Homo-oligomer: A and B are copies of this chain.
Amino acid sequence: MSFQLTILGSSGALPAYGRFPSSQYLHIQKHHILIDCGEGIQTQLKRFSIPTQKIDKIFISHLHGDHYLGLMGLLFSMHLNRRTNDLHLYSPPGLDQIILLQLKYSKSALHYQLIFHPIPDGASVCLYEDNILTVHTIPLRHKIPCTGFLFQEKPKQRKINKEVLPKDMLLAHIAQLKLGEDIYNDEGALLYKNTDYTLPPRPSYSFAYCSDTAYDESIVGLIKEVDLLYHEATFMQEHEDKAAMTLHSTTLQAAQIANLAKVKCLLIGHYSARYRVLNALQEEAATLFKNTKLAIEGETIDLEKL
């Protein structure tokens, strides 16, 4: 029942001090997801023992190089490693052309299927839904079409309270209880009251990924009360002007969004190459939003333990 995020890359546009460009690995129950694919992602996946061939969905926020240039090499390596399962790619339009052109010139026919899902520009849409998870877009304000992603677990089934469960209960009734239903007999009389035999379900978690973006309060409604918000903080507050010019955010702007959205925890990253040591960024953001963490490569955040 995991909901865990592992940081693979935390750097802004220029790699610096051994930090890699943007990339995160999200493990939600049976789903293995990559979010952005900066150059060197293969190195990082191997370094942190991520099960690469299990990844079946990749979400690319936008087509600036530091967010997708590791993808092509990853696709080639998956092919060389004999991957056969489908791979879904979600990104602003254009990624399909970029990939297909490179496959054409390398004369590569992949052993597996690539399924492209171009993201329309504009209002938030649902990109994916199954019985576990929904993924919605978060329109961001950047130099080119750019979108964040909101990952939300669906409500989970109630847990059977084994200590009070009659030994002769039918499996069909247990399944109904898990769905939260009361059980009636054919005459309509109550047989089992749900809350007598079940415990509340495990909590469901939510994670919002917002990179790259200028300060933009219009996203607050979409990310309200998420458990974990990743919001870029390329600059310290003293460079607010640079942030505005490049359509990036500062530490305090990220913290302000976290405050307005009343999230549980804020994770900052996409650090400018000017910062060798990162503590000051965390400290500055924490003056406004206390529960702020730094995105540190190789660290895993378990949303059940926030």
- How extensive is the interface on chain A, given as a class? 20 to 34
Which residues of the other chain, B, contact A102 by a CB distance below 8 angstroms? 63, 65, 98
- A26-81 CB contacts (< 8 Å) to partner B: 39-40, 42-43, 63-66, 69-70, 72-73, 76-77, 80-81
**Known: A39-B40, A69-B72. Is A64-B106 also a contact (CB below 8 A)?**
yes
Q: Which residues of A contact B (CB under 8 A)?
A: 13-15, 21, 39-40, 42-43, 63-66, 69-70, 72-73, 76-77, 80-81, 94-95, 97-98, 101-102, 104-107, 143-144
Residue of chain B at shortest CB distance from A70: B39
Q: Is the CB of B77 within 8 A of A14?
A: yes
Which 10 residue pairs spanning A and B have beta carbons closest together? A94-B105, A63-B105, A65-B76, A39-B73, A69-B73, A107-B144, A64-B106, A65-B73, A63-B106, A40-B40
Q: Is the CB of A72 within 8 A of B65?
A: yes
When all copies of this chain in the complex are counted, the total is 2
A137 nearest CB across to chain B (Å): 18
Residue among A14, A39, A66, A143 with max Cβ neighbours from chain B (10 Å): A39
A250 nearest CB across to chain B (Å): 19
Residue of chain B at shortest CB distance from A103: B65
Residue of chain B at shortest CB distance from A69: B73
A11 nearest CB across to chain B (Å): 11
Q: Is the CB of A106 within 8 A of B65?
A: yes
Q: How far is the CA of A39 from the CA of B65 in the complex (A)?
A: 12
Residue among A63, A66, A73, A80 with max Cβ neighbours from chain B (10 Å): A73
Q: How far is the CA of A86 from the CA of B205 in the complex (A)?
A: 51
Which residues of the other chain, B, contact A77 by a CB distance below 8 angstroms? 13-15
